[in-house]
Structure 1
Amino acid sequence: MRAAGGDVADDEDAAPGARSEQHRQSRERRRLRVAVLALVSIVLLGAVPLFFGLRTLSRDPVFDNLDQLNVPAWAATKTVDDVSGSRWCLLDCRLRERTVTSEKSPEETAKVYEEALRGDGWRPWKVSRCPEQETKGSYTCWRQDELTLDLWVRAPACVPPPVDGEPAIVPSPEPSAAAGECAGSLVSVKVRNAIDDERTRPQPSTDPSLTGEDPFPTVSGDPLGDVTPSPS
């Protein structure tokens, strides 16, 4: 048998070891919590810039600038954007196209858009082939730094309502006042890189003085008519 005193001594000797084990486990739990918090912080701090970075890459900044044009709400009731080409001009440079629906007439709409473009730093660009072909409405061209912009404001293409469930016959492409959707106007905005816009390049001249003489002159009359026959 062990003496009572021996049991107490053994418990006292075991107590420091148990306390040391508890302290070690507590320190490990604290380190684990700190590591988890650090990992969560790194993920959050990295995710936010990554989110905005991907958003910036996916969203063309030209459209953001167009969104900031100072036009009234009635001049931009519905907006549809389309983009093609490469932002870095790989094979094809980027082409940005925006179609906007306005509630007011083409004249009023063109005026507010032209004023907004001037206020945003765009300048009128007087150039041939603006437009490329004859169009109805107001068609103007603009330049700002490395970009060119085409602004086309016109009346909407109106389609008469169906008659007895059948599509109405449209006699001409002229807008029809009978259709309720014919009010207002349509705005088309086309933005290109200036280096990809052929109108920024010098066009070949057709001045005859720069082309030289015709290498194949036209011969008039009989070339042998004035030749004197030699005596035989």
Structure 2
Amino acid sequence: MRPAAEEEPSTGDTAGGLSGARSELRRRIRERRRLRLGILVLVSVVLLGALPLYFGIRTLSRDPVFDTLDELDVPGWAAVQTVDNVSGNRWCLQDCRLRERTVQSERSPEETARAYEAALGREGWQRWQVDLCPQQPDKGSYTCWRQDELTLDLWVRAPSCLPPPVDGAPAVPPSPLASAPAAPAPAGCAGSLVSMKVRNAIDDDRTRPQPSTDPSLTGEDPFPTLTEDPLGEPTPTPTPSPS
């Protein structure tokens, strides 16, 4: 005969235990689903926010004008080394933005200028015939261009090569007043140098009408030149009367 303490559990207790276990399992499954959904939403928010932030920072740090210059279809020998420089403000708060690009070319200035002028024409830049282009006479080829709200100055010239040092002395540019012939240029001094300056058209003085020098508009000279004595003939010295 079995003791009373070792009585078998009832069928109701067993069903209740199984039901509780199922409920606990379902609860854990729901928690895992919520956790996975939360992680998925968090990753989506990060990706959707990070991409616009990345492109926004890239846009602010990289001037789109340089991207336009990068698209110029010039041969590889015409863009061996590129250096960009930016000054001013994009929104013209104080000074409007000036973009400057300097490029080294392996070939002559004439051939390099033709390559860049053809590339600018293919990209929609129009040749701009305007006074003060250049503002001062320069060696080489200097041309001006316009496209929409931008102006571009293209200057292609021979590189500035210093003569090699003599007896260990530092190289200095030859003086134009020196009577002795200048030393020959170094062997690697070849090719050409390209400079491009891009400005906003509203900030380019050449897009504004220049003042006229018509005398009728500028007025008379406030200090006219006197051609005759304003006092007329000199007054004769009085002759003393006889005493």
Q: TM-score, normalised by structure 2?
A: 0.84
Root-mean-square deviation (Å)? 2.4
Matched, 1:162 2:169: no
Could you give the per-residue CA deviations for residues 107-134 of structure 1, whole angstroms, max 9, x where no partner exists? Answer: 1001111111111111111111111212
Matched, 1:148 2:151: yes
1:87 CA drift (Å) = 1.1
Conserved? CA contact 2:163–2:186, under 8 Å = yes
Conserved? CA contact 1:175–1:182, under 8 Å = no
Q: Relative to 1, partners in 2 of residues 1:156 and 1:9: Cα closer, same or farther, differing over 3 Å?
A: same
Number of the residue aligned with 2:203 = 196
Q: Relative to 1, partners in 2 of residues 1:215 and 1:98: Cα closer, same or farther, differing over 3 Å?
A: same
For residues 10-159 of structure 1, the aligned pairs below 5 Å read 10-159=13-162
In structure 1, what residue type is equivalent to 2:161? C
Matched, 1:223 2:230: yes
Count of matched residue pairs: 227
- Between the aligned partners of 2:174 and 2:225, the Cα distance in structure 1 is 51
Matched, 1:213 2:220: yes
1:158 CA drift (Å) = 0.7
Conserved? CA contact 1:155–1:184, under 8 Å = yes
Conserved? CA contact 2:107–2:190, under 8 Å = yes
Could you give the per-residue CA deviations for residues 135-183 of structure 1, whole angstroms, max 9, x where no partner exists? Answer: 1111111111111110000000112233444324543479975312311
Number of the residue aligned with 2:240 = none
Q: Relative to 1, partners in 2 of residues 1:133 and 1:176: Cα closer, same or farther, differing over 3 Å?
A: farther
- Between the aligned partners of 2:100 and 2:121, the Cα distance in structure 1 is 19
Could you give the per-residue CA deviations for residues 47-105 of structure 1, whole angstroms, max 9, x where no partner exists? Answer: 12321222122111111111111111000000000011111111111100000000000
Larger-Rg structure: 2
Matched, 1:183 2:186: no
Conserved? CA contact 2:82–2:101, under 8 Å = yes
In structure 1, what residue type is equivalent to 2:23? S
Q: TM-score, normalised by structure 1?
A: 0.88
Q: Relative to 1, partners in 2 of residues 1:130 and 1:172: Cα closer, same or farther, differing over 3 Å?
A: same
Conserved? CA contact 1:130–1:141, under 8 Å = yes
Q: Relative to 1, partners in 2 of residues 1:39 and 1:175: Cα closer, same or farther, differing over 3 Å?
A: farther
- Between the aligned partners of 2:108 and 2:80, the Cα distance in structure 1 is 13
Unaligned 5+ runs, structure 2: 234-243
The 3-state SS of whatever aligns with 2:83 is: strand
